Structure 1
């Protein structure tokens, strides 16, 4: 399970959709942040950011479900495990949403 989770997270971290804005750029610009739910959330509410978040989260949901099915877990459990890792791995200057629902800059 740990190996599969690491592979999934690596794929999620390097996935870049064919948008003008990439996930790394959005993170660096403070337009998006990671949450403990395992899903990306918009910090900025512009259409480009919202489209990116929707695309990334759809891909994550699909990946979480596939991993959950293979490991006899719920997709929510997989998402929460991924969320904890994504928040912990956020780079300095990037946003994460804390337990209190507030954005924090690492």
Structure 2
């Protein structure tokens, strides 16, 4: 009898866990910025504020940066501008849009919190 109850509880737990896919537990870029986990890097990409082994945050950084790299490349080609110029412009625009309390890297690579 106890074995059956235990099996039912384990099955119930497994079903509940399976409902939470990795995307349901994923964090958005905005949430990561609000929590001070990532910020706008001085190369036009995002980066972890502190060394991080959290796979969710690492996946977010890779995903956002891949999208940005593709966008920068397309803009660079369509406007006949160097990729470095596009990244620099994106960096300055990102700082302008950075909300108070969020982090960004200055030109020397030090993290600053926007006031």
Counting matched residue pairs gives 89
User: Of 20, 28, 47, which residue of structure 1 is paired with 2:34?
Assistant: 28
SS for the counterpart of 1:30 is: coil
Name which of structure 1's ranges 75-84 and 52-61 shifts more when overlaid on structure 2.
75-84
1:17-50 CA distances to partner (integer Å, 9 max, x unpaired)?
Answer: x571100000101010002211111114122111
Residue of structure 2 in register with 1:53 after alignment: 61
In 2, Cα distance between the equivalents of 1:49 and 1:76? Answer: 26
Residue of structure 2 in register with 1:99 after alignment: 107
Matches for 1:66-81 after TM superposition, within 5 Å: 66-81=74-89
In 2, Cα distance between the equivalents of 1:62 and 1:93? Answer: 28
Instruction: Check conservation: 2:42, 2:109, Cα contact below 8 A.
Output: no
SS for the counterpart of 1:54 is: helix
Q: TM-score, normalised by structure 2?
A: 0.72
- Once the 2 structures are TM-superposed, how far is the Cα of residue 79 of structure 1 from its aligned partner? 1.1
Coordinate RMSD, CA, aligned: 1.4
Large movers: runs of 4+ above 6 Å: none
SS for the counterpart of 1:21 is: coil
In 2, Cα distance between the equivalents of 1:99 and 1:93? Answer: 18
SS for the counterpart of 2:39 is: strand
In 1, Cα distance between the equivalents of 2:108 and 2:35? Answer: 23
